[in-house]
Structure 1
Amino acid sequence: MTETPKIALAGVHKSFGPKTVLNGIDLEVARGESLVIIGGSGTGKSVMLKCILGLLHPDSGSIRVDGRETTRLNSRDRERLLHKFGMLFQGAALFDSLPVWENVAFGLIQGEHMPRPRARDIAVAKLGAVGLGPEVANLSPAELSGGMQKRVALARAIADEPEIIFFDEPTTGLDPIMADVINELIVQCVKDLGATAVTITHDMASARKIADRIAMIYQGRIIWTGHASDIDDSGNPYVDQFVHGRADGPIRMQIRAL
């Protein structure tokens, strides 16, 4: 018997007024798999994640998590579903008014109503898992470098030991060395948790490092999926152009004349 996918999308559409963003997304993510979704800006990557999370409601189509349809959940069941997810947001998205440990423990305190001393202990342990010592816990986000902020955001994403983790452009704004550090931490944290991971990125070095499998989205559809090792021999001209960053090819950028 084939195992039920951890996440399965079928025929998912989403438009905003006259603009169609998702135009029939079909995609499956296996339990414990690390899937990376690549594609240009405005192709629907973030909208797709928001639909899976329930932050946006698709116009049509099916989204299943562990075999259960999620597009028609009531608010209570939606809240239960969200406990399965962790999220590393683009730009870290830390709360400037909270110390580092409270940023990491935010979901534990606000969502799980965990006592603050216990939540702080977990936060410090998760900071350790991403290579940050306990002395960082009481600092403010403004006192951290960009790379350290990303590590804190990763610690927050894994604080509740989620079954599914989403990574939204995890290496944006980082130098190549720090980006590779973050990639290594993502791989290790996902492995330690046994989690299913979905990452959206423009960074092909990150995609190659993180992914078991890669999917490309273009004009609101998944146009190619394959093993990460096959990305350089995809046989798809759109994938080839994107992976190698070529101006010439079937993907045409709209450039407004000055």
Structure 2
Amino acid sequence: MTDTPKIALRNVHKRFGPKVVLNGIDLEVGRGESLVVIGGSGTGKSVMLKCILGLLHPDTGSIRVDGEETTRLGSREREKLLHKFGMLFQGAALFDSIRVWENVAFGLIQGEHMPRPKAKDIAMAKLGAVGLTPEVGELYPAELSGGMQKRVALARAIADEPEIIFFDEPTTGLDPIMADVINELIVKCVKDLGATAVTITHDMASARKIADRIAMIYQGRIIWTGHARDIDASGNAHVDQFVHGRAEGPIQMQIRAL
């Protein structure tokens, strides 16, 4: 990549007590690129995202956003940096006690201190961008299906038109058709914003649809990166086993005896 990467991680380590989670992560995400990180449960995908966001502090290593080192930022600088990010959480993570439009506008009202009428107008527009009507905005999350809740979560993620969007298992719990709908909406929204996207997922159908590039994390390291179209010819036995969902291979699941 000739330009300064939007996000760059260099030799990032993170452990919790004796457990090593990140063991020297090296990864770049280009401006406007959609990168999908695949890997099994407990391999460090979510911890990596939290380190980029500053929710966790790496033990060692460098994390740069737009060329700026972020691991040593103070609270005020960190808050400014976070305005660049949007996030679609696993399971949608909507607030049950407030209406749908208020969920979408939450960051605008609480973080940006935007007047409620203006924030509501933006929220309704973003709901429209993910295929939901203004009537849906007046409902509560419990009144929505799982797929509609995911759409609301996506609308919230793009409400402030972020430069970078993180997607944490965006299709978990959805049937294949609704998952594909969400994947298409993610692609459209990211393209319309011109945003950089990082997605973590187990869902290879989602990865193939969303990604420009795919990276695989295993035992706390990035073991392969490549264009999404090259994933089936990676030449890496770990990647091949994961992509095709085979029980036999170099990745051994830890099963505790009863």
Q: TM-score, normalised by structure 1?
A: 0.99
Q: Matched residues, percent identical?
A: 89
Correspondence for 2:89? 89
Correspondence for 2:187? 187
Correspondence for 1:102? 102
SS at match of 1:172: coil
Aligned pairs for 1:105-254 (under 5 A) are: 105-254=105-254
- Once the two structures are superposed, what CA deviation does each residue of 1:4-31 show, in whole Å capped at 9, x if it has no partner? 0000000000000000000000000000
SS at match of 1:101: helix
Partner Cα distance (1:50, 1:42) in 2 = 14
Partner Cα distance (2:256, 2:41) in 1 = 16
Partner Cα distance (1:24, 1:67) in 2 = 19
Paired amino acid for 1:7: I
Correspondence for 2:56? 56
Partner Cα distance (1:108, 1:13) in 2 = 34
SS at match of 1:208: helix
- Once the two structures are superposed, what CA deviation does each residue of 1:142-167 show, in whole Å capped at 9, x if it has no partner? 00000000000000000000000000
Q: How far does residue 2 in structure 1 lie from its aligned partner after superposition?
A: 2.0
Partner Cα distance (1:77, 1:133) in 2 = 37
Paired amino acid for 2:150: K
Partner Cα distance (1:85, 1:240) in 2 = 32
- Once the two structures are superposed, what CA deviation does each residue of 1:170-201 show, in whole Å capped at 9, x if it has no partner? 00000000000000000000000000000000
Partner Cα distance (2:90, 2:166) in 1 = 10
Partner Cα distance (1:254, 1:3) in 2 = 41
Paired amino acid for 1:29: V
Q: What is the Cα-based RMSD across aligned positions, in Å?
A: 0.7
Partner Cα distance (2:22, 2:33) in 1 = 23
Paired amino acid for 1:123: A
Matched length: 258
Paired amino acid for 1:194: G
Correspondence for 1:21? 21
Q: How far does residue 255 in structure 1 lie from its aligned partner after superposition?
A: 1.0
Partner Cα distance (2:219, 2:139) in 1 = 43
SS at match of 1:32: coil
Is 2:8 the partner of 1:8? Answer: yes
SS at match of 1:198: strand
SS at match of 1:2: coil
SS at match of 2:55: coil
> Structure 1 stretches (4+) deviating beyond 2 angstroms?
none
Q: How far does residue 256 in structure 1 lie from its aligned partner after superposition?
A: 1.6
Structure 1 stretches of 5 or more lacking a match? Answer: none
Structure 2 stretches of 5 or more lacking a match? Answer: none
SS at match of 2:112: coil
SS at match of 2:78: helix
Q: How far does residue 257 in structure 1 lie from its aligned partner after superposition?
A: 2.0
